[in-house]
Structure 1
Amino acid sequence: MYLKSIALVGFKSFGRKTELAFGSPIVAVVGPNGSGKSNVAEAFRFVLGEQSMKSMRSKRGEDLIWGGSPGLPRANRGAVRVVFDNADRLLDLDFKEVVIERVVYRDGQNEYLLNGTVVRLKDVIRLLAGANIGGSGYQIISQGEADRILNASPKERREMVEDALGLKLYQHKKAESERKLGETGVNIDKTKSLRRELAPHINFLRVQVEKIEKARELKEQLAAKLNEYLAREHAWISQEDARLSEEIRMHETELRKLSESVRAARGARGSSSDAALAGLQGKLAEREGKLAAARRESERLARELGRAEGALEANNVTVEAIVPVPHVRNFARELDATVSELERVDDIARVRSVLQDIRSRIKSFIEGLSGAAPVTNEEVKQQVKSLADSLARVREEETNLADELESLRKGIAEARESGFAAERDLVALEASVREAQSKLGGVRAARENIAEARRRFEEEVREGIALVGAAVHSWEKAEIPPGALSEERSVQEKRRRDIERLKIKIEESGSGSGEAVVKEFTQTKERDEFLAKELADLEASAASLKDIIAELEKTIDARFHEGLKLINEALKNFFTKLFGGGYVDIRFVASQEDTRIGGSLGRGARAYLYRTHFFDDAGESSALPRSRRDRRRAR
C-alpha cells in the first residue's frame, strides 16, 4: 500500500482545488515561506482523523476553511481527499484503490467518506489502524518532532512503539470496548434506577389489577347466575301471567253468570212467589172460617137430632098422630135443599146465613110440633132421618174443608219452603258472587304482583347490563330445563339473594371497568419486562465487553513483547551501523504508577515504564532521562 495523491479544496490556504500526486517513492514539497507547505502536512493529519485543533494550528473547525481573498470568495466547506493504492489489500477493503475524504463545514460539523460513502470517524480510524497508521502522528514528523521523540515520556514512548507495531487497532478496539463498557455501566445504572422507580407503581397497579381481576371473576359469576335467574324469572312471569289471565277470564265469565242468576232469582222472588203465597194464605183463611162454621153447624144439628130422637122416645106417640107426614116431608126437602146450597157456597158468611136459616126452620118445625096436631110416627122417623142426613152432609163438608185446609197448609208450607229455598238459593248465589268477586280480586292482585315482578325483572335486566354489559342478554337464548317452572319459589329467591350478594361484592371492589388500569399495568409491566431484558442484555454485554477487553489486553501485551524483541534486534543492527560499534536496547520496568489510561489500572493491572539504554564499546551504559525527576537524579 502506498499514497497515490492528495487533493485539497477550500482547506486553509487552498481556496481552489489543489491535487498533489506521489508517483515516486520519495517526493519533496518545496516552496517559500507562507506557500502552504505546512498546510499540506496538516491536511494529512486532518484527513487521517486528527481531532486536535492545536496540532493543526487552529482554534475552531471554521479556521480550517478558506477565508476568502479579493480574487476568490470564502468557502463554506473545506475538504481533503487522499487516495491509497490498496493492491496488496493492506487496508481491509476489497478495493484496489481506497479514497478517504474528510469535509469540515463552517458550523463545525465534519463528514467522513470512504470511497464516496459516508462513514463514521471510528470507521476511518479502524481502517487506518489496521495498516499501522495511528493518531500519534509518528508517520508525520514535523519540525522539532525529533526532540519530541527523544524527550518523550515512557508512556509516550510506549505509544510510539505500539503505533509502530500496529497495535493501535487493538488499542482502539480496547478503548472502544472500555467506552462501551462505561456506557453500558451507565445504562445498567439507569435501567436499574428506572426499574426501582417502576417497582412501587407496578406493585400498586398489581394490587389494583388483582382487584379488577377479582371483580371480573365476580362479574363472570354474576353474568352466569344472572342469566340463569333472568331466564327462569322471565319464563315464570310469562307462565304466571298467562295462567292468571286465563283465571281472570274464567272468573269474570263465572261472575257474569252468577250475577245474571242473582238478578233472575231476585226478580222471580219479588213477583210470582209472593203473589202465590198471598193467594194461598187468603184461601187458607177462608177455608178455616168455613170449617169453623161447618163444625158449629154440625154440633148444632147433632144436638137437634138428639133432642128429636129423645122427644120421640119420651112421648111415645106416633108420628102420624103428632105431625102430618106431608108437612115433615116438605120440611125435610127444604132442609135438604138448604144443605145442598150450603155445599155450593164458598163464602163463609153465606154458609153462616144458610146455617142460620136451617137453624130457624128446625126451631120453627119443633115449635110447630108442640102446638100442631100430632104427627105420625113415620113422619117423625122421616124427620129424624132427614136431620141425620143433613148432619152427615155437614160433617162430610167439615171433613172436606179440613182436608182442603190441610192441603192449603201444605201448599202454604211448600210455598214458604219454596220461598225459603229461593231465598237460600239467592243467598247462596250472592255468596257465590262475593266469593267469585273475592277470587277475581285475588287473581287480579296476583296479576298485579306479576306486573310488579315484570317491572322488577326489567329493572334487574338494566342493572345487569350496567354491571356486566351485553353478556346479560344471554338469558334470552338460555334453555330452561324441564321441570324448572314447577320448582319452589324459594329456590329462585335464593338465586336472587346470591345475585344481590355478588352485586354488593362488586360494588365494594369499586374497580369499575378497570380497562385503563389494566392497560396501564400491562404497559408498565411490559416496560419493566423490557427493562429487565435490557438489563440482562446490558449485563451480558458488560460481561462480554470485559472478556473482550481482557482478551485485547492479552493480545496487545503479547504482540507488544514480540514486537519489542524485533525492534531491539533491528535497533541493534541500526545502531552498530551508525556508530560503528556498541549496542542499544529498549527495556521496560514494572510500576504501580497510574501512567496509562485509567480504565485498566482501576482493575489492578500493571503499567509499564520504559527506559532506553545505550552501551558504548567499553560496556558502559546510559539511559535517556524519562522525566525531570530522572534528569535531577542523573545529575
Structure 2
Amino acid sequence: MYLREVELIGFKSFADRTVISFNPGITTIVGPNGSGKSNILDAIRWVLGEQSSRELRTVQMADVIFNGNENRPPLGMAEVTITLDNHDGTLPLDYNEVQITRKVYRSGEGEYFINKSPCRLKDIVELFLDTGIGTDSYSIIGQGKIDLIISSHPEDRRELFEEVAGVLKYKSRRKVAIKKIELAEQNLLRLQDVIAEIERQLRSLKRQAQIAQRYRNLQCKLKEIEIRNAWFTYNQLQGNIEDEKYLLNEKKKAYEELSKTITLIETQQEELYLKRLDYEKEVANQRDELHKIENDMAKLENELNIHLR
C-alpha cells in the first residue's frame, strides 16, 4: 500500500483545487519557506482524523479553512482527499484503491467519507489500525519528533513497537471488548433486578388472578342461583297466570249466562208490561161499560118508580 494522491481544496494556503500525485518509493517535496510544504503534511494528518489544533499548527479547527488574502476572499469550507493504492490488501476493504475524504465548514460541522460514502471518524481510525498510518502513529514524524521518541518512556516506546508489530489493533479491540463485557455485566445486573421485580409483580399478579378467579366462580354460582330462582318464579307465575286465565274464563262464562238471563228477563218484563197495558185498557173499558150499565139501571129504576106511583 502507498499514498497515490492528495487532493486539497480550500485547505490552509491551498485555496484552489490542488492535486499532488505520488509514485511508489521515496518522494521528496522541496520548496522555499512558506510555500506550503508543511501544509501538505498537515492535510494528510488532518484527513486521517487529527483532532488537535496544536498538531495542525492552528488555534481552532476552522483555521484550516483558507482565510483569504488581498486577492482572494475567505472560503467557507476546506476539503482534503487522499487516495491509497490497496492492491496488496493492507486495508481490510475489497477495493484496489481507497479514498479518504474529510470536510470542515466555518460553522464547525465536519464530514468524513470512505470511497465517497459517509462514515464516522471511528470508522477511519479502525480502518488504519495496525497499518502504521493514523493520527497517533509514527508514519508522519514532524520536526523534533525523533528526539521525543528517543527520550520517551519505555511504555511509549513499547506502544510504538506494538503498533509496528500489529498488536495495537488487538489491544484496542481487547479494550473495547472489556468495556463491552463490563457494560454487559452491568446490564446483566440491571436485568437481574428487573427480573426480580417482574417475579415479585408476577407473584402479586398470580394472587390477584386467584382472587379474580374465585370472584368469577362466585359470580357464576350466583348467576346460576339467580337463573334458577328466576326460572322457578317464572314457572310459578305461569301457573298463577293459567289459574287466573281459568278463573277469568269461568267468570266470563258466568257473565255470558247472566247476560242471557238478564236479556230473557228484560224480554219477559217487556211482554208483561205490554200485557199489563192490555189488561189496564180492558179494565178501563169494562169500567166504562159498568158505568154505562149503572146509569141505564138508574134510569130504569126512576122510570119504574114513576109508573108505580
Q: Normalising by the residue count of structure 2, what TM-score does the alignment of the two structures yield?
A: 0.71
Does structure 2 conserve the Cα–Cα contact (< 8 Å) formed by 1:61 and 1:106? no
Shift in Å, 1:7: 0.9
* 1:20 corresponding residue in structure 2: 20
> Aligned partners of 2:182 and 2:238: how far apart in 1?
84
Alignment of 1:466-505 (within 5 A): none
Tell me the secondary structure at the aligned position of residue 177 of structure 1.
helix
Aligned-partner SS, 1:54: coil
CA distance in 1, matches of 2:34, 2:193: 58
Shift of 1:68: 2.8
Q: Are residue 10 (structure 1) and residue 5 (structure 2) matched?
A: no
- Stretches of 4+ moved more than 6 A in 1? none
Query: Per chain length, whose mean CA-contact separation is higher, i.e. which structure has more relative contact order (CA < 8 Å, sep 6+)?
Result: 1
The 1-side partners of 2:35 and 2:127 are apart by 32
Q: Output the CA distance in 1 between the equivalents of 2:193 and 2:16.
A: 55
CA 1:146–1:210: 2 relative to 1, 3 Å: closer
SS, match of residue 56 in structure 1: coil
Residue equivalent to 1:274: none
Distance in 2 between residues matched to 1:236 and 1:70, nearest whole Å: 111
Where do residues 253-264 of structure 1 align in structure 2 (5 Å cutoff)? none
> Once the two structures are superposed, what CA deviation does each residue of 1:280-325 show, in whole Å capped at 9, x if it has no partner?
xxxxxxxxxxxxxxxxxxxxxxxxxxxxxxxxxxxxxxxxxxxxxx
Match of 1:101, SS state, is strand
2:273 is matched with none
Q: Quote the RMSD (CA, aligned, Å).
A: 3.1
How far apart are the structure 2 equivalents of 1:218 and 1:120?
61
Report what 1:68 is aligned to: 68
Question: Partners in 1 of 2:63 and 2:153 — Cα distance?
Answer: 31
Number of aligned positions between the proteins = 257
Compute the displacement of 1:218 (Å): 3.1
Other-structure match for 1:44: 44
What letter corresponds to residue 242 of structure 1 in structure 2?
Q
Question: Following TM superposition, by how much is the alpha carbon of 1:245 offset from its aligned partner in structure 2, in angstroms?
Answer: 1.5
1:213 aligns to 2:213 (yes or no): no
Secondary structure of the equivalent of 1:146?
helix
Q: Which residue of 1 aligns with 2:119?
A: 119
Give SS of 1:31's match: coil
Q: Which residue of 2 aligns with 1:151?
A: 151
Name the residue aligned to 1:91. Answer: 91
Whole-angstrom distance in 2 between the partners of 1:24 and 1:255 = 130
Q: CA deviation at 1:103?
A: 1.9
Q: Aligned pair in 2 of structure 1 residues 175, 75: CA closer, same or farther (>3 Å)?
A: farther
1:55 aligns with 2:55: yes
Which digits, 9 at most, give the CA deviation of each residue in 1:247-280, with x for residues without a partner?
A: 123345567859x99xx9xxxxxxxxxxxxxxxx
Seq. identity, %: 33
Distance 1:206 1:67, change over 3 A: farther
Q: Which residue of 2 aligns with 1:249?
A: 245
Aligned partners of 1:32, 1:194: CA distance in 2, in Å?
A: 68
List alignment gaps of at least 5 residues for structure 2.
Answer: 262-309
Q: Cα 1:151–1:192, aligned 2, differ >3 Å: closer, same or farther?
A: same
Structure 1 distance, partners of 2:107, 2:170, is 33
1:195 aligned residue:
194
Deviations 1:362-388 (A, max 9, x none): xxxxxxxxxxxxxxxxxxxxxxxxxxx
How far apart are 1:217 and its partner, in Å? 1.2
Distance 2:121 2:179 in 1: 15
The answer to whether the Cα contact below 8 Å between 1:8 and 1:81 also exists between their aligned partners in 2 is: yes
Matched, 1:238 2:234: yes
CA contact under 8 A between 2:45 and 2:134: conserved in structure 1? no
Amino acid across the alignment from 1:228 = E
Q: Partners in 1 of 2:201 and 2:222 — Cα distance?
A: 32
Task: Tell me, in whole angstroms, the C-alpha distance in 2 between the residues paired with 1:153 and 1:233.
Answer: 98
Partners of 2:130 and 2:164 within 8 A in 1: no
Aligned to 1:228: 224
SS in 1 for 2:80: strand
SS for the counterpart of 1:129 is coil
Aligned partners of 1:89 and 1:20: how far apart in 2? 23
CA contact (8 A) 2:130 2:165 kept: no
AA in 1 matched with 2:34: G
C-alpha displacement at 1:81, in angstroms? 0.9
Distance 1:156 1:43 in 2: 25
Displacement of 1:21 in angstroms is: 0.6
**Could you report, residue by residue, the CA deviation over 1:227-258 in whole angstroms, capped at 9, with x for unpaired residues?**
43344333323322221122123345567859
Q: Residue type of the partner of 1:43?
A: A
